[in-house]
Amino acid sequence: MSTTLITGGTVVSATGRAEADVLIDGATIAAVLAPGSQLLGTDLAASVDTVVDATGKYVIPGGIDAHTHMELPFGGTNASDTFETGTRAAAWGGTTTIIDFAVQRYGERVQDGLAAWHAKAEGECAIDYGFHQIIGGIDDDSLAAMRGLLDEGISSFKLFMAYPGVFYSDDAQVLKAMQVSAETGLLTMMHAENGPAIDVLAAQLADAGKIAPSYHGVARAWQLEEEATHRAIMIANLTGAPLYVVHVSAKQAVEQLAAARDKGWNVFGETCPQYLYLSLEEQLGAFSAEWGQFEGAKWVCSTPLRSRAEGHQDHMWQALRTNDLQMVSTDHCPFCMKGQKDLGLADFRAIPNGIGSVEHRMDLMYQGVVTGRITLERWVELTSTTPARMFGLYGRKGVIQPGADGDAVVYDPSGHTSIGYGDGRTHHMNMDHSAWEGFEIDGHVDTVVSRGRVIVDAGRYLGSKGDGRFLRRGLSQYLV
Ligand code: URP
Ligand code: ZN
Ligand code: ZN
Ligand code: ZN
C-alpha cells in the first residue's frame, strides 16, 4: 500500500475552505492535516511514497458526473464513447466517478439489461462507476425486477415521458413505477417532456419541409417540458415517490420544481452545462462552411437548447444559486458528425440526440466561480458533494475526510485552456468535433487522484483501463 500526500493547497468543501495537507493511505483518505504536519518528528512529506505539490492551488473532492451514456444505443447508432474512452476523458477533466444508465428496453428483462451494462463496463473504466437503471418497458415483470435493484447496488431508475416507441412510458406506467419508488425508496429520475405531443409537432415541421436541426428545438417547446415536469411532480406526490428531474432546460420547468420544493416535497432537479451556456439561436441555429445549416446538429440533444432571448440560461444559473436546482451533470451522450449525426441530414428527427461534455464539466462550472455566479464552495457542492448525497455515495465520495475514498483533484486557478478541435484538439472524448470549441477556460485540472492513485498529472495520463470499480450505491441521502 502506498501513501500520497497532497501538500500546500487550499482544501475546498461544500461548506468551506482551509489550508491543509491531505494524506492518502492506500485507496483511502487517512487524514486532513495542518500544513506541514510532522510524523514522529520528521516532515510527513519525507516519509510518504508520493508528494503532490498543490501550492497556490485548490484541492477538491473528485468530480461526480451522475448522468452519462457511454455506448448508449440511440437513433440507430451507439454513443461514440466506450466506457474506456469516456471514463478516461472524464478523468482528464477532474471527474473520478460517473453514474451511467443501464438500459432495459420494452420486451427485455431488467436483469438482462443490467447484466449487459456490467459486461460493457467491467474492466474498462479509468474511474469508479455506478449505474442507474433505465426502465424502458414497464410491465409486471419489470416492476417486480425493480424491487430487486437495491440489492444490485442500484438506488435510482430513469423513466421517459418522451421518445414514444423507444423508451416512453405512459402516465399509467409512470404511476405504477412511482408506486414501486415510494415503496422501495428508489429515486425516480424523470425525462420530463411530453413525447407524443413533440412527435406531432416534429412531424408537422418535417412535412412542411422544415428539416434543419434548429427545428428540433422548435418542436420540443418549453410548454411541453413545463407540462411534463408538472405531471411528473403531481404523480410523484400522489404516490409518495421521491422525484429527480434530469436535464432541466426550461425556466418554466424550474418554476414547477421550485413550487413543489416550496411545499416541502421530495422533488429535485439537475441541469447540464449546455443549458447554462448554449442556446437555440447561437448553436442549434449555427451555420458553417463545412456543414451549412446542419452545423446545428452538433447541439441536438433533449431536452433541447433553449432561446437566449427568453432568458432560460440566466434562470438556470439563478436556480443553481437558490438551490431550486441541486446539481450539474453532463448527460454526456456523444455522437460524431460523420456517420452518426449525419443520419439526420435530410430530417432533424433522425439526428441522434446528445452532446459530449464529460471532460469539461468541472472546468465549465468553475467559470461560474470566475464570473461570480456561484461560490467556490457551491462549485464543489454542485459537481461532487450533492451528486454523492443524491445518489447514495456520500461519505465514501463527494468529500475530503478521513475514511473517504482517496479521490481528489488539484485545480490550478491560474491555468487557462482555449478549447479547440482539429490541430488544436484539447479533449480526449471519442468525437470528431467539440460542442465547446472556442470556449476560453480559466482554471485547470492539474492532478487527479483516484482511490489513492495519481492517474492524471501535469498533462500526462498515468492510469490504466480497469482501474475503476463498480460502486454499489445506497438509498439517496438527500431526501427530507
Ligand atoms: O439528448 C440526450 N439527452 N440524449 C441522451 C438520452 C437522454 O434523454 O438523456
Ligand atoms: Zn433524458
Ligand atoms: Zn441522458
Ligand atoms: Zn495547469
Phi, psi of 229 (to 5 degrees): -60, -45
- Please compute the mean of the pLDDT values over residues 330-335 and round it to a whole number: 98
Closest ligand 1 atom to Cα of 301: 1
Q: How far is the CA of 23 from the centre of ligand 2 (A)?
A: 39
Give one DSSP letter per residue of 18-63, joined into a string.
EE-EEEEETTEEEEEE-TT-EETTEEHHHHSSEEEE-TTSEEEEPE
pLDDT of residue 438: 94
CB 249 within 8 A of CB 278: no
Cell of 119: 459486461
Neighbours of 101 (CB within 10 A): 22
Break the chain into its structural domains and give their ranges: 62-390
Band (pLDDT 50/70/90 cuts) for residue 44 is: confident
Give the lowest-confidence range in 38-42, 232-236, 469-473. Answer: 38-42
Cell of 65: 458526473
pLDDT of residue 38: 81
pLDDT of residue 331: 98
- Please compute the mean of the pLDDT values over residues 1-5 and round it to a whole number: 92
pLDDT of residue 1: 76
- Please compute the mean of the pLDDT values over residues 351-375 and round it to a whole number: 98
| CA 404 – CA 265 distance, rounded (Å) | 30
Which among 68, 74, 135 is the best mutation to test ligand 1's pocket, defined by most ligand atoms within 8 Å of the CB? 74
pLDDT of residue 37: 86
The kind and range of the H/E element at 281 are none
Which among 81, 132, 135, 331 is the best mutation to test ligand 1's pocket, defined by most ligand atoms within 8 Å of the CB? 331
Tens of pLDDT along 98-156? Answer: 999 999 999 999 999 999 999 999 999 999 999 999 999 999 999 999 999 999 999 99
Cell of 453: 492513485
Q: Kindly indicate whether the domain formed by 62-390 is annotated with CATH number 3.20.20.140.
A: yes
Band (pLDDT 50/70/90 cuts) for residue 287 is: very high
What letter would DSSP give residue 151? G
Band (pLDDT 50/70/90 cuts) for residue 421 is: confident
Closest CA to 464 of 127, 5, 189: 127
Whole-model pTM over 0.95: yes
Specify the higher pLDDT residue, 301 or 420. 301
Neighbours of 237 (CB within 10 A): 16
Q: How far is the CA of 447 from the centre of ligand 2 (A)?
A: 32
Average pLDDT, the chain: 97
CB 23 within 8 A of CB 45: no
Ligand 1 binding pocket (C-beta < 6 A) is 69, 191, 247, 301-302, 331, 333, 353-354
Band (pLDDT 50/70/90 cuts) for residue 209 is: very high
Q: Which residues, 6+ apart, have CB-to-CB distance to 336 below 8 Å? A: 80, 430, 431, 432, 433
CB 187 within 8 A of CB 218: no
Band (pLDDT 50/70/90 cuts) for residue 90 is: very high
What letter would DSSP give residue 301? -
Band (pLDDT 50/70/90 cuts) for residue 245 is: very high
Q: How far is the CA of 100 from the centre of ligand 3 (A)?
A: 9
- Please compute the mean of the pLDDT values over residues 461-474 and round it to a whole number: 98
pLDDT of residue 39: 76
Q: What totals of helices (H) and strands (E) does the chain contain, helices first?
A: 14, 23
CB 158 within 8 A of CB 215: no
Q: Does the bond joining 303 to the residue before it have cis omega, within 30 degrees of 0?
A: yes
- Please compute the mean of the pLDDT values over residues 390-405 and round it to a whole number: 98
220 has a pLDDT exceeding 90: yes
pLDDT of residue 422: 72
Tens of pLDDT along 290-316? Answer: 999 999 999 999 999 999 999 999 999
CB 299 within 8 A of CB 284: yes
Report the C-alpha dihedral over residues 425, 431, 435, 438, rounded to 10 degrees.
10
Percent of the chain with pLDDT over 90: 96
Closest ligand 1 atom to Cα of 191: 8
Band (pLDDT 50/70/90 cuts) for residue 42 is: confident
Q: What is the ipTM of this complex?
A: 0.95
pLDDT of residue 425: 84
Which among 70, 353, 357 is the best mutation to test ligand 1's pocket, defined by most ligand atoms within 8 Å of the CB? 353
175 has a pLDDT exceeding 90: yes
Give one DSSP letter per residue of 187-252, joined into a string.
EEEEE-S-HHHHHHHHHHHHHTT--STHHHHHHS-HHHHHHHHHHHHHHHHHHT--EEE-S---HH
480 has a pLDDT exceeding 80: no
